[in-house]
Amino acid sequence: QDPLTTELILMNDSVLFVSEKIPPPIYNLQDFDVPDAISQFLKDFPSLQPRTIQAYCWRPAIRGKDIIGISPQNSGKTWAYLVPILSNLCQYTMYADIQYSNGPLAIILVSSWIKAEEVYEQCRRLASAHKDIVVEVIYGGGAEHNKSVSLLNGCHILVATLPCLSRMMINQYTNLNRLCHLIIDEADIILEDFYSDIRDLMRSLKKQVLLSKQRSNLQNQVMLFGSKWTSHVRTFAMNALEDVVIVITDMIEASIYGRVKQIPMITTEDGRERKLIELLPDLTIQGEKVIIFTDGDQSCHKVLLLLNNYLTSAAIGVWSSSYLAQREESSKQWHRPLSENEPYRFLVCSDSVLCDLKISDATCIVHYQFPSKKVHVGLRMQTMSKYYPHYNDKTVPLRLGKSYILMSKMDLKKVKSLKSLLLNNSSGQHRDETIKFFSVIQEENERNPDNALCYNIKMYGKCRSCSNCNQRHSVLPEVDLNGCSDEHILLPNQGDVRIMVLHVKSASHFFGRILEIWQGQKKSVAVHSDLASLTLGMATHFCDPANKKPLEKLEIGILCTVNTSKGFFRVTVSKLNNCASKNTVTLFFVDIGKTEEHPVCNLYTIPDQFARVPYQAVEIFLCRLQPVDCDVRWSNFANSYTNLWVESKMLYGKIQFVTKNSLWLDPLLERIFLKDISSVTNGTSLRRELLDQKLAVDNPEHLVLLREKFKKYLPDEKPSIIAKTRVTGWESDLTSEPLVPEESNQNVVISYIVHPGHFFVQKVDKLNSLSELMEKIQESVRKETKPQPKRDWTEGLHCLAIWSDSLWHRVRLTKVTDSEADVHFVDHGYCGTVPLSDLRTMSQQLMCLPAQAIRCHLAHISPVPGHSFSESSELFTNLTQSLDGQNKILTLKVVSPCAPNNNDNDIIGKDDVETDGYPSYAVELLDNTATAGSEDCNDDDDDDDVDADNNNNNNNNNNNNNNNNNHSVGQQLVNWKKAVSRDGYVQPVFEESETAFQIFTPSADKLVTICCVLYWKEDKSGLKLTANLLGKYTKVCLKYPERLIAHRYPESLLKLLNYTEDLVIFNTLITILKGLCQHRRYILLFYSFICPSYWTVFTLGSTFEDLVNHRHRCGCAVKKFASQPHCFRFSPWHLGQVFFTLVPGQPKLGEYTRYIYNNKSEILSVWYPCISAYICFP
């Protein structure tokens, strides 16, 4: 058998195969030598035959060759790399020399979470043939949150999006230590969007290979698969791959690889002959071999006669009616060498005979007419494949193929799919003409009122794939503006609304009903809904079988009625499903907003009285959000979170933008009624929840781009003649409530948190005054009868603004535009944006009380090097709130007052410069709850407690700083490794220790050293081994309990237990403590005030993450015990707090203590997951 060549493969299979050695393709599974498990799995699909991309990729892939595979969508690219990778993974001997690590052997990178799930399911399906192969998938938007443990345990194949993989590697949940196969699926998209990230990943992989001697003999395979050959793919192949195999099954993409120059020429149907004649001087050059393609035999005859009238040598003609002998003769004439008498050659043919001619050496082709199928365009390009240069050839070849394309308006639909090909591979005047030509297509699409406005523009403000998007990207006022259609409700253009969500489409897109509207200072207006009467009327009408009239004509967009299990609903037909067996249609429920599929037999004609009622479902978008990791679709986790968040809630939102039947709201939140003070407060907004849960990222350009798109159709704001109002002194001079350094005990609550270096507090003793002021503000606004005078609002002015809670607040203007202003709420600390119509001047009487939001930052600490304070905001919030979410009353101590310093990013930061101008106090925050409840101790121990206090007082002077730090919020941030000491005033719970150590003999002091190592160890590798070592050595050292006590090893255990966030360490420490409890020479006593409700909570159990959050909010307190062995003083400063006391023998027990002791086994089983205290010694 003749050896395979690139030209031979092109002729037979229309596949461009670039490689030094070409293995035979695998078109029969019996010829594919794979492990038995994979082979048996493939045999279970007898109808399965390798597709073209698979046939040519399987053999080089299984041999470890680098591959670039370019093939159209849905052509089998996923199995082209999965089958070889899994076949290799089944053979363990190939990876026997790899040092054990939790890193994957193969990483598959994809561009979106949808593709990640698709690849994961196919990979898991194939891997089921071999049960030992572990497959994991990670991507942003909620899917990565619960993957840390499984990644630490290790896997063989990891399917991931690139940004998510980078985060996991930074957090050291996975690594590249064992990576042998890197697959980049959808490589054209990933290299376009994340080229710099891919470059960094390849550098890291190359560095890992160079550092690891064990990998010298192993595979380091890289495979790219995509649907397009792009400049980024070519650059990647040149710079990152060696001896790469390139397989391209799409001949159009092969022509791009071959750098064929596209020359579009705009003409008319009658002007094709004239345009061809104009081209002849450029085609009749020595050495040119030109093929002119037509779409039929008649055109072939016509063009052939035309050419023979102008050419010196006769052109060759062949068409579908030509006999086989004529075709063979034409092929021989074409392949005959050129001569002086025939310096160039022309061939005229139709697409039907092209494959029989076996041509690959054409220098130029002319598309006289477009083919009926897109695949024929690629086959035409294939005739120039002999002159395709190598991808790594940096010099300009002497001869490159040229493709002239004659296009008329009749070809618009045919050439639409080739728009990117023609624009990206043409230049000069021809490219300008092509742009004008395609603008006709675009204009026709943009003017079609039946074509909906692009979903991505409404959702995100922009469309990332405008060239391939079939929806409209320009505004048509007759179909897009509010009030343009009687089918929909006329929506308010501004104000606040109360809504009820009917159906969630995605995390930031849902349908709902408007229940109430607030506009400016007017009272709320209830919105009348016809939904109830409509539903009842339709149910009554269709109860009569005579009224159920089937549809006479079924077409897209028609309004009708559908009969479902829940009743009758109005629907429009959005899609006709081409399935004769099911006979179903896709319907949009116009009064609910959902889309479902139903049988055609359930559709009925709708009476006019029901059809005239406007659609009741309003489309609602949440502003300024987009999916994480540059994805274009919201993840299922984000959609589910939104669905649960809005379920059965009445929500309030501020209108930011309005179009036909669509509202853009920001913020959208729930209002909470506080029974104790009979007041309403705003809950967290949905936008903030999605951002905090890392299910979305900020999209600040959303509304800006949307308004720009509608700019010419929005009413112009005519400048009004406003008298320049002078800002009086008292309007710009509202001082902040001072904090006096000499007052060491000032009770405060946190009102707003940016991060530990930027937050606001309110004095507890001023809260009543603030409540009275708020009542005066509301009363003063209600009493005003004169209209608000127009004035110039300037930055720095203090005034009143109404917020989403429908209350007026004192604010300071930080930025003013033509229609809105950025404001700082001086009594609470947060910032926002309000329309100018929602501002009101403030009387001088309302300025008497200083601004109650006092800006502070925690003293003595700074962010962890390489991190920002923003990363510790969640922990800081937990430490300042109780478990029920209420703000704790904290004791504040002023260390030093200072003005905001934007250069001092370690302390204050530069997150909200609009609050600059107020002093920022360096403060210590102490948790008052840590010392509450000591008066509830047992009466039997009162005398002993007094003695204990007297004894403790002798030592208090020396340990004052330490005691304060025990309740300090800043100390807790340092203990949790979310901050570091700035001046040595606070110290971590463990001294810093080297993470690498050797222990030859188990001893108590070495056990303490291991605890230090586990606390400071950042690298997750070897963590389990170190924790197991701690448990092993503890069993040995239990023989000498006095040494354990002398070195305070039990205290180290409980310190580590309280501050570890690693599940492996946590479980190991619990096992060690249970072992200590069971030791015959020790009694472990539990002291706790037990509330039945908390018993219920913890008996039901909690996840490890919930327990970590519980410990954040509890903090940690060390209580100094008396020196007498039987006198114990404990502080139940939080329900569920457990204190341990380790004493020799059995002490004299009181009634409560005896109950605890007798039931210690049961209590241990319930309470040990939430231990957060130290062990204490007599």
Instruction: List pLDDT tens digits, range 48-81.
Output: 688 899 999 999 999 889 999 999 998 889 999 9
| Among the listed residues 667, 664, 663, the one whose alpha carbon sits nearest the alpha carbon of residue 652 | 667
**In sequence order, which ranges of 495-565 are alpha helices (DSSP H)?**
531-541
Predicted pLDDT at 191: 92
Closest listed residue to residue 405, CA positions, set 377, 447, 385: 377
Model pLDDT, residue 47: 53
User: Which residue did the predictor score with more confidence, 1036 or 828?
Assistant: 828
Tell me the C-alpha distance between 146 and 142, whole Å.
8
How would DSSP label each residue in 772-822?
HHHHHHHHHHHH--SPPPP----TT-EEEEE-TTS-EEEEEEEEE-SSEEE
Pairing of strands 135-138, 157-161: parallel
Q: How confident is the model at residue 1151 (pLDDT cuts 50, 70, 90)?
A: very low
Higher local confidence (pLDDT), 588 or 1019: 588
Tokens (6 digits) for 523: 């009272």
**pLDDT by residue (tens digit) across 423-452?**
776 666 666 777 777 776 677 777 888 888
The whole-angstrom separation of Cα 1088 and Cα 1137 is 6
pLDDT at residue number 738: 79
C-alpha span between 433 and 238 (Å, rounded): 33
Sequence letter at residue 607: P
CATH 1.20.1280.260 fits 746-783+790-927, yes or no: no
**What pLDDT digit, counting tens, does each position of 1054-1097 carry?**
778 777 777 778 778 777 776 766 554 443 333 332 222 222 22
Contacts of 132 (CB under 8 A, 6+ apart): none
Judge if 13-90+102-249 and 259-443 fold alike in CATH terms: yes
Provide the pLDDT confidence category of residue 1144 given band limits of 50, 70 and 90. Answer: very low
* The domain defined by 259-443 carries CATH number 3.40.50.300: yes
310 — pLDDT class (breaks 50, 70, 90):
confident
Across the chain, what does the average pLDDT equal? 78
Give the C-alpha separation, 761 to 370, whole Å: 73
Beta bridge partners, 50, equal none
For the domain made up of 530-612, the CATH class stated in words is mainly beta
Q: Is the pLDDT of residue 353 over 80?
A: yes
Q: Which long-range contacts (CB under 8 A, 24 or more apart) does 524-528 make?
A: 524/498
Q: What is the pLDDT of residue 189?
A: 92
Q: The CATH number of 13-90+102-249 is which of 3.40.190.10, 3.30.1300.10, 3.40.50.300, 3.40.630.10?
A: 3.40.50.300
What number is the average pLDDT over the span 23-27?
Answer: 85
**CATH assignment of 455-528+617-710?**
2.40.50.90
Average pLDDT (527-542) is 84
Question: Under DSSP, is residue 1088 helix (H, G, I), strand (E, B) or coil?
Answer: coil
Of 23-27, 140-144, 789-793, 1143-1147, the one with minimum mean pLDDT is 1143-1147
Q: Is the pLDDT of residue 1150 over 70?
A: no
Query: Which residue type is seen at 399?
Result: R
* Residues in CB range of 915: below 8 A, 6 or more apart: 814, 824, 829, 831, 855, 900
Q: Which positions ≥6 away from 1063 have C-beta within 8 Å? A: 149, 1104
Least confident residue range of 33-42, 83-92, 510-519: 33-42
205-219 tens-digit pLDDT: 888 777 665 555 567
CB atoms within 10 A of CB 869: 27
Domains of the chain: which residue ranges? Answer: 13-90+102-249, 259-443, 455-528+617-710, 530-612, 746-783+790-927, 1025-1082
Predicted pLDDT at 218: 65
Burial class (CB in 10 A: 0-12, 13-18, 19+), 140: buried
| Cα gap 708→699, rounded to integer Å | 15
- Does the structure show a pLDDT above 60 at 809? yes
Position 854 scores a pLDDT of 92
CA 272/CA 190 separation, integer angstroms? 41
Residue 917 has pLDDT above 70, yes or no: no
What lies within 8 Å, CB to CB, of 1099 at 6+ separation is 1166
Identity of the highest mean pLDDT range in 261-270, 841-850, 1146-1155, 1156-1165: 261-270
Q: Where are the alpha helices (DSSP H) in 967-1079?
A: 969-975, 1004-1016, 1023-1037, 1041-1046, 1049-1059, 1063-1078
State mean pLDDT over 655-676: 87
Cis peptide before 1147 (omega within 30 of 0): no
Mean pLDDT of the 679-685 span: 77
Instruction: For residue 249, give both structure tokens.
Output: 């099954």
Q: Is the pLDDT of residue 1134 over 70?
A: no
Q: Are 123 and 108 in contact (CB under 8 A)?
A: yes
